[in-house]
Amino acid sequence: MSHIDPQFLRQTVAYRSPYPAGTIVVDPHKRFLYLVQKDGQATRYGVGVGREGLAFSGTGIVQDKREWPHWTPTSAMIARQPERYAKWAKGMEGGAGNPLGARALYLFKDGKDTRYRIHGTTEPDSIGKAVSSGCIRMMNQDVIDLYSRIPLGTKVVVL
């Protein structure tokens, strides 16, 4: 935690939004995820986001949620960095060393899996940076908190 810029620590903030309470809004430029609350408030979490050209944008729905999820790199990830990802082509079971961390929220659009996730990370120093292969990374304690607050069907808006 001592390596995390304090602005990226979870906090309740004033937040004016056109979206109703319960909506997740991600601002990839500022590296924040907001869970919109009532009365002009939001819970704000610091996030790591996708590198240029790899990030999700638009609107999706959390259609699945998993604790200690299984992870398989996409074929595009393996093609970009085979030395890092090829050994995991058949996947990795959930656990402390899994890149998806403690929880994952699976984003769907028009009923189809986007392959983008909001998930924990084994690299908390990536919070506040654009370094992922497109997913939205959170500190494990924050993704556990968010996971517990939202139901399936939650709308996610990535600005």
Q: Which two tokens stand for residue 49?
A: 């986001």
> Any catalytic annotation for residue 135?
yes
Give the Cα separation of 45 and 95 in Å (integer): 23
Contact between 107 and 57 (Cβ < 8 Å): no
Give the Cα separation of 11 and 16 in Å (integer): 15
Which contiguous run of DSSP H or E holds residue 144? helix 140-149
Contact between 34 and 119 (Cβ < 8 Å): no
Residue given tokens 């004016």 in the structure block = 16
State the catalytic residue, choosing from 3, 29, 70, 135.
135
CA dist list (Å): 99 to 73, 103, 136: 10, 10, 12
Query: Which conformational region is residue 143 in: left (phi greater than 0), alpha (psi within -120 to 50 degrees), or beta?
Result: alpha
> Any catalytic annotation for residue 29?
no
Catalytic residues: 119, 135
